[in-house]
Amino acid sequence: MALLRQTHRCLLHQNRNFSASALAQTWFGNVEQAPKDPILGITEAFLADDNPKKMNLGVGAYRDDNGKPVVLDVVRQAEDIVAGNNFMEYLPIGGLKEFNQVSIKLAYGDNAQAIQDARVAAVQSLSGTGSCRLMAEFMHRWMPGSKVHITKPTWSNHHNIFRDAGVEKKEYRYYKPSTKGLDFEGLIDDLKAASPKDVVLLHACAHNPTGVDPTPEQWKEISSVMKQKQLFPFFDMAYQGFASGDCERDAQAINIFMEDGHALGCSQSYAKNMGLYGQRIGCFSIVAEDPKEAVKVESQMKAIARPMYSNPPLHGALIVSQILKDNKLKQQWYKEVKGMAERIISVRQSLKENLESLGSPHKWDHITEQIGMFCFSGMTPEQVDKLAQDYSIYMTRNGRISMAGVNSQNVGPLSEAIHKVTTQ
């Protein structure tokens, strides 16, 4: 009898284990493996390569002429000032107020009428990705039925951000492969075909991934068409100062739209222009029609942020605020960000000249005509694959070169490799 009871207990225990195991399998058994991020895949292949002369030209992070990460001197100085002078309390949902104020002045101008009129709603965000995500969710809640129009091509995460917010996306023509420049006629035609109240995502400067920007005259026509069509401009400004070396010049598109009387949105990031990649520091702002509307809009921006991440981080906001409110530090930052931009411009020139001196039958003017961190080289996916296989040079398969990874030591070998794969 005792043996039967023992056997029964064992069977019950086994059944419970089996049931728990089966139940656990049903919870996540249908979860599929997510596709690898293209950039992550490039980095993994680069790290696995034992060639000492390998190059990683996929990651969009600045490197100095020795290929090393950079922390700006002005950032270190600001860190020394703010260290130990603040508590570690939560920030408000909207972030550090002083940070938001200096950020919108950088984007719209110190003397912008919209700021003086208190028409700018602004919250601190989790860098540029966070700003775009807040805008996407704001659209979903408060601009129902509006589609977002995104450049073809664009930064790949733009598609993920608006898709996850449930916002319908459409692409508009932007890059023209035959000229490796702007498809301005196609762009204008597509904007004219857009529906009123739709949102158009615009890259304020240093378009990612093409490096192709409209001229001031073209920006004026884009603004005029969007005004006529009642389209809402949303600027993604990830490279202010880093593109040309001049913060005012890099914000000229926004200023043109402001002068034309647009209500608009803006995403700012301090990852590239201050090197604060890991601090996840940015600002999301909307220029409203009047102060009362701005107050309501900002309240809803905060309502969206609250369940997402509750409140933003403190340290990066303190660094940026210290730099932008202190004129001496601000001028030093202008000088350092100009130095980063000029290094990128210099290696662009070297790459173009090297390819021409090697006798390339192709035109490479687009290398220096494009601007910012990335060069849309025009190479095919097969040519990019050959660069990786034969020369240990890694980049995204659309031919986008991160010029931040090019320097005076590797631009020669890079030029020779590109010449070989594009002439075979």
Please identify every residue annotated as catalytic: 155, 236, 272
Pick from 192, 256, 201, 200: nearest CA to 229: 192
CB-based contact 371:213 (threshold 8 Å): yes
- Identify the helix (H) or strand (E) that includes residue 125: strand 120-125
Q: What contacts 412, CB < 8 A, 6 or more positions away?
A: 354
Using only C-alpha atoms, what is the Rg of the chain? 25
Q: 């009898």: which residue's tokens?
A: 1
> For residues 201 and 270, what is the distance between their CA atoms, to the nearest angstrom?
19
How many residues does this entry show for the chain? 424
> For residues 14 and 9, what is the distance between their CA atoms, to the nearest angstrom?
9
Phi, psi of 159 (to 5 degrees): -65, -45
- Direct distance between the N- and C-terminal alpha carbons of the chain, in angstroms, rounded to an integer: 85
**Cα distances (angstroms) measured from residue 180 to each of 156, 212, 352, 415:** 19, 8, 14, 18
Could you give the count of Cα atoms lying within 13 Å of 280 in the half-sphere of its Cβ? 11
> For residues 32 and 209, what is the distance between their CA atoms, to the nearest angstrom?
29
Phi, psi of 64 (to 5 degrees): -80, -175
